[in-house]
């Protein structure tokens, strides 16, 4: 009996010891797999096919619509690998914009914003710029013709800002030694296959802050993208008078998030886009019923951040195509962790089972 008991004790020790080392090995395996998956996925952007294209990596021309709830933020990659960020959403959304831009950089092997365009001084466009300027290298800042108090002596013919947020952004740009440029009609950039033209503003003063908006036309191959900022119907009228049919575009970033202050039927008839981009919060009043009717009556497809969240547009086979952009890192890492934990637990039970069976023998 004593000999049998001693043998059992030895067996118990042996299995306990085995159990311990198996658990250690499994834990190491689990942690390694988790970290490999996490670091491999983390910060990468993936695209789910909406029409035609599901991998945007290395496309020479890309327009990314970053979901910043109620605000605007668009990232454009040009064929010469230069990058323009148009607006940064509100202060609260700044971190999301930084995350998106960094993920985009990781995908594309890029590391700086060549041009940060702040269309106008409103907080839903410039608020996030403090986060962007403090975390990402920005070479040139294109700003509205609105100056801070301390700059007013230098630019006596420009409107003085009433916004603390805007002043902070401009001061930060000076601190970071960005090259600072005023965005106005006539300004033009050639990105080796894509051209950016500034169609507005043309004046130094406007009664509505939204009318300071930079309106830009981006032309790549045969396709045209018109970005309206928050420009109102008054600016649309001025653009029609100045440019007429030249305003015809394939994609229109609708003015003022789809509010009824912009997007007159006359203007939409001239632009005649295939797609209208609307950047607005889910369950908001944007686009307004009036703008919605105008767009629908002209069979213009609405692409809104309210439904698509982050999405990207490119030109493929001479067609405008778009895809939803997603960050799977956290979800995928969590799913894999759960599967591995479940496997370890099952194996643990099996080992315990075998130990018990051995004990019974």
x/- binding map, residues 176-215, to Zn ion, per CB under 5 A? ----------------------------------------
Residue range at the interface with Zn ion (CB under 5 A); choices 120-128, 136-144, 169-177, 187-195: 120-128
Residue 70 Cβ, how far from Zn ion at the closest point, in Å?
8
Instruction: Indicate the residue among 207 and 318 with the shorter CB distance to Zn ion.
Output: 207
- Contact segment (CB under 5 A) with Zn ion among 45-53, 224-232, 324-332, 334-342 equals 224-232
Q: How many other CB atoms are found less than 10 A from the CB of residue 32?
A: 10
Q: Does 124 bind Zn ion (CB under 5 A)?
A: yes
280/340 with CB nearer Zn ion: 280
Count other C-beta atoms under 10 Å from residue 253's C-beta. 27
**Which among 117-125, 149-157, 167-175, 241-249 is the span making contact with Zn ion, rule CB under 5 A?**
117-125
Closest CA to 184 of 152, 143, 220, 149: 143
Give the nearer residue to Zn ion in terms of CB position, either 47 or 201: 201
Report d(CA 344, CA 116) in Å as an integer.
49
CB of 178 to Zn ion, least distance (A): 22
Residue (46 or 212) nearer to Zn ion, CB: 212
- Report which secondary-structure segment, H or E, holds 277: strand 275-278
Encoding tokens for residue 346?
A: 């099952």
End-to-end Cα spacing for the chain: 14
Report the alpha-carbon angle 89-330-134, nearest 5. Answer: 35
Looking at the Cβ atoms of 208 and 302, the one nearer to Zn ion is: 208
List the strands of the sheet with 301-304, edge to edge: 188-190, 194-200, 215-220, 223-227, 251-253, 275-278, 301-304
Q: Given candidates 151, 230, 236, 250, which one binds Zn ion under the rule CB under 5 A?
A: 230
Decide whether 167 or 230 has the Cβ nearer to Zn ion.
230
Closest to 254 measured CA to CA, from 227, 281, 235:
227
Report d(CA 216, CA 253) in Å as an integer: 10
In whole angstroms, the minimum distance from the beta carbon of 279 to Zn ion comes to 8
d(CA 350, CA 119): 63
93 binds Zn ion (CB under 5 A): no
Give the SS3 label for residue 63.
Answer: strand
What is the size of the binding site for Zn ion (CB under 5 A)? 2
Helices (H) and strands (E) counted in the chain, each on its own, are 10, 18
Q: Which stretch binds Zn ion (CB under 5 A): 217-225, 230-238, 287-295, 311-319?
A: 230-238
Query: Cβ closer to Zn ion: 86 or 138?
Result: 86
Asked if 48 and 54 touch (Cβ cutoff 8 Å), the reply is yes
CB closer to Zn ion out of 279 and 329: 279
| Residue 149, token pair as written in the block | 């108090």
Residues 331-350 that bind Zn ion (CB under 5 A): none
Closest distance to Zn ion from the beta carbon of 304 (Å):
14
Q: Please report, as ranges, the residues that interact with Zn ion according to CB under 5 A.
A: 124, 230
């Amino acid at each position: 009996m004593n000999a049998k008991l001693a043998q059992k004790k030895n067996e118990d020790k042996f299995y306990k010891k085995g159990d311990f080392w198996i658990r250690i090995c499994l834990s190491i395996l689990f942690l390694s797999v988790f970290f490999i998956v996490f670091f491999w996925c983390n910060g990468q952007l993936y695209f789910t096919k909406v029409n035609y294209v599901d991998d945007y990596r290395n496309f020479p021309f890309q327009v990314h619509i970053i979901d910043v709830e109620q605000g605007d933020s668009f990232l454009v990659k040009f064929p010469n690998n230069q990058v323009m960020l148009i607006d940064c959403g509100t202060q609260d959304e700044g971190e999301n914009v930084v995350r998106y831009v960094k993920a985009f950089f990781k995908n594309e092997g890029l590391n700086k914003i060549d041009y940060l365009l702040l269309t106008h001084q409103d907080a839903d466009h410039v608020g996030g710029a403090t986060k962007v300027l403090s975390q990402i290298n920005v070479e040139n800042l294109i700003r509205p013709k609105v100056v801070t108090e301390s700059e007013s002596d230098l630019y006596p013919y420009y409107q003085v800002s009433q916004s603390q947020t805007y002043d902070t952004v401009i001061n930060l740009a000076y601190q970071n030694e960005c090259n600072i440029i005023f965005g106005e009609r006539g300004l033009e950039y050639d990105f080796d296959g894509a051209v950016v033209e500034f169609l507005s503003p043309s004046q130094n003063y406007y009664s509505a802050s939204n009318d300071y908006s930079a309106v830009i036309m981006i032309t790549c191959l045969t396709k045209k993208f018109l970005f309206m900022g928050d420009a109102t119907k008054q600016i649309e009228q001025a653009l029609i008078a100045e440019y007429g049919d030249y305003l015809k575009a394939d994609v229109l970033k609708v003015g003022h998030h789809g509010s009824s202050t912009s997007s007159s039927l006359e203007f939409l008839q001239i632009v005649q886009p295939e797609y209208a981009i609307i950047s607005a919060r889910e369950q908001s009043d944007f686009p307004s019923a009036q703008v919605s009717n105008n767009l629908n009556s002209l069979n213009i497809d609405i692409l809104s951040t309210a439904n698509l969240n982050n999405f990207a547009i490119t030109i493929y086979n001479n067609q405008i195509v778009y895809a939803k952009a997603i960050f799977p890192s956290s979800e995928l890492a969590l799913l894999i962790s759960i599967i591995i934990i479940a496997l370890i637990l099952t194996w643990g039970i099996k080992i315990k089972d075998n130990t018990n069976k051995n004990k019974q023998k």
